[in-house]
Amino acid sequence: MPSDDESTVIPLHTRRQQAGAGSARSLLLSVFGEYVLPQGHSVWTSTVLHVLAEAGVEEKAARQALSRMAADGWIVSERLGRRVRWGLTETGRQLLTEGAERIYSFGRDRDSWDGRWLTLLVSVPESQRDLRHQLRNGLTWAGLGSPSPGVWVSPHASREAEAKQVVEGLGLESAVFSFCGPFAGVGSERAMVEQAWHLGDLASAYEEFLRQFAGLRPEHGDQVLLAQIRLVHEWRRFPRLDPQLPLELLPAHWVGLRAANVFKDLHQDWHRSAQARWAELAEED
């Protein structure tokens, strides 16, 4: 294991693809959420660098990711001589806990649907692109889709409170109108769903996930630890991509259900060995 001296360089396999800063931060979130959060202990920089190096992240990008997470208030450093260890802040613990609850339970259970749609009509000028971007991110995370410009829909009427929080947080109350009710007799409900969420693209993403992980059997040690990180890292994107539509609105034999079961089974199968390996690495430091 390398030391925390800034001059340390971690050797990487020559064929390993180097991850950029954005990917490094995303992987780092997965590492802290999967290992630091549940074990409740701070982690040495050298442990983080070792794990991210094995995942294909070069040292410079890994250190930048740590600095950015600290600047965002997720983690805090503690220096002991020349060495540094990192722990979660209260904000970081809260955010990662909320994220874990959503990620680990995502995709398996579907509530019965009463046929009602939540509909938002939003008017934000094209000149306010940053505001439009923030609105899109917030409403997408809340599970809404946009079948046409300025229109957002969700078959989950209960998402109204979350959508309202997004709108009010951006100061757009006066620019939004909302309705809730069943789809009327004009137009095609299926066509609206496809335009809002592009289910073909979503199915392709799930199929790629299955190609990567279904049947994967990593060995103990670093292999299972890294497989678990990659599993969670790849699965984390689906709560943003998949609005969890009622079964009535999905194609038959929806691939997302199988992918959710594969994620759950593999995460459970690998959990004990991966956590044990993380504890070993932390103790070695």
9 in a domain, yes or no? no
pLDDT of 1 strictly over 70: no
187 in a domain, yes or no? no
| pLDDT tens digits, one per residue of 153-209 | 999 999 999 999 999 999 999 999 999 999 999 999 999 999 999 999 999 999 999
Of 61-75, 96-110, 210-224, minimum mean pLDDT range: 96-110
Domain total of the chain: 3
12 in a domain, yes or no? no
Per-chain mean pLDDT for the chain: 87
89 & 26 share domain: yes
pLDDT of 10 strictly over 90: no
pLDDT, residue 17, reads 38
pLDDT of 22 strictly over 70: no
Q: How confident is the model at residue 285 (pLDDT cuts 50, 70, 90)?
A: low
210 & 280 share domain: yes
229 & 159 share domain: no
4 in a domain, yes or no? no
265 & 219 share domain: yes
153 & 227 share domain: no
2 in a domain, yes or no? no
What domain range includes position 27? 21-96
* Last residue of one domain, picked from the residues 126, 148, 182: 182
SS (H, E, C) 177-198: EEEEEECCCCCCHHHHHHHHHC
| pLDDT tens digits, one per residue of 231-273 | 999 999 998 889 899 999 999 999 999 999 999 999 999 999 9
- Report the C-alpha gap between 42 and 226 in whole angstroms: 19
* Last residue of one domain, picked from the residues 40, 64, 96: 96
Is the sign of the CA dihedral 56, 59, 60, 63 positive or negative?
positive
168 & 204 share domain: no
212 in a domain, yes or no? yes
| pLDDT tens digits, one per residue of 94-105 | 999 988 888 888
pLDDT, residue 74, reads 95
pTM (two decimals): 0.79
Residue pointed to by tokens 């009622």 = 246
For 116-124, what is the mean pLDDT? 94
Asked whether 205 and 255 are in contact (CB, 8 A), the reply is no
248 in a domain, yes or no? yes
202 & 279 share domain: yes
Of 121-125, 214-218, 281-285, minimum mean pLDDT range: 281-285
Token pair listed for 109: 């259970």
28 & 74 share domain: yes
177 & 202 share domain: no
pLDDT, residue 24, reads 87
102 in a domain, yes or no? no
* Last residue of one domain, picked from the residues 96, 128, 159: 96
131 & 89 share domain: no
Token pair listed for 140: 């997408």
- Report the C-alpha gap between 134 and 145 in whole angstroms: 14
Provide the CATH number for the domain around residue 59. 1.10.10.10
pLDDT of 71 strictly over 70: yes
